[in-house]
A and B are shown apart, each in its own frame.
Chain A
Amino acid sequence: GAGVSQTPSNKVTEKGKYVELRCDPISGHTALYWYRQSLGQGPEFLIYFQGTGAADDSGLPNDRFFAVRPEGSVSTLKIQRTERGDSAVYLCASSLNAVTDTQYFGPGTRLTVL
């Protein structure tokens, strides 16, 4: 079946601009996660949704970052006033639920802030 998809695959923006990154989870998966991966590092947790609500947003670095999942399926990660340090690969993962915890990852969105 279809896996997790993310769009766009690459995004180049200028410092100070607003960006939105989209994640389509595996159909029927209720849990959705966002991670960020900087060059040479492992992915770092940002936020977790169970259904429509953000169950844990402790990984969001500051209030410029926000994520939504209004209908419990597609999620959008929003970054305001982008900074060069936001450049990274943003990964989305989903799992059937949070108890059966196997998370399946999408291919990621590579964000470059000039």
Chain B
Amino acid sequence: DAKTTQPPSMDCAEGRAANLPCNHSTISGNEYVYWYRQIHSQGPQYIIHGLKNNETNEMASLIITEDRKSSTLILPHATLRDTAVYYCIVRVGKGSNYKLTFGKGTLLTVNP
């Protein structure tokens, strides 16, 4: 199982871009990178995922390095409601069992 490394905390000013890094140096070729976030007292919320190409949706952008050993989640215009713990996850499992293995994530605090 590929392990991910994230900084424990980050700060961002409201309205600015938040760039959250993740290292996954042991990722294998068929493993996806997933990002979830968890706002206090809520269940995890899916944000985005990717294999090797950069991805963008209405919430965020995901930039994956060419060697796939790291990625960055970008929230283009952070708001106070984006304050949450952000989890970078590499999908594990064999066959059709795709359980998610969460680390401790990055606590992003968006400041006014």
State whether these chains interact.
Answer: yes
Indicate whether B2 reaches chain A with its CB closer than 8 angstroms: no
A107 to B100, CA, bound (A): 17
Q: For chain B residues 50-101, which have a beta carbon within 8 Å of chain A?
A: 85, 87, 91, 96-101
Q: Is the CB of A42 within 8 A of B99?
A: no
Which of A55, A59, A102 is the most central at the interface, judged by chain B CB atoms within 10 Å of its CB?
A102
Contacts of B97 in A (CB 8 A): 48, 55-56, 98
CB distance from A37 to the nearest CB of B (A): 8
| Cβ contact of B42, chosen from A59, A104, A107, cutoff 8 A | A107
Indicate whether A14 reaches chain B with its CB closer than 8 angstroms: no
Q: Is the CB of B99 within 8 A of A102?
A: no
CB distance from B101 to the nearest CB of A (A): 7
Indicate whether B43 reaches chain A with its CB closer than 8 angstroms: yes
| Cβ contact of B46, chosen from A42, A43, A48, A104, cutoff 8 A | A104
Chain B residue with the shortest CB-CB distance to A91? B43
Q: Is the CB of A56 within 8 A of B99?
A: yes
Contacts of B99 in A (CB 8 A): 33, 45, 48, 56, 59
Chain A residue with the shortest CB-CB distance to B104? A42
Q: Is the CB of A43 within 8 A of B102?
A: yes
A23 to B36, CA, bound (A): 20
Q: For chain A residues 97-113, which have a beta carbon within 8 Å of chain B?
A: 97-99, 101-108
Q: Is the CB of B43 within 8 A of A55?
A: no
The interface of chain A, by Cβ under 8 A from chain B, is 4, 33, 35, 40-45, 48, 50, 55-56, 59, 91, 93, 95, 97-99, 101-108
With A41-B104, A101-B98, A108-B42 already in contact, 19 other A-B pairs whose C-beta atoms are closer than 8 Å: A33-B99, A33-B100, A42-B85, A42-B102, A42-B104, A43-B44, A45-B99, A48-B99, A91-B43, A95-B98, A98-B96, A99-B98, A101-B32, A102-B34, A102-B46, A105-B36, A105-B43, A105-B44, A105-B45
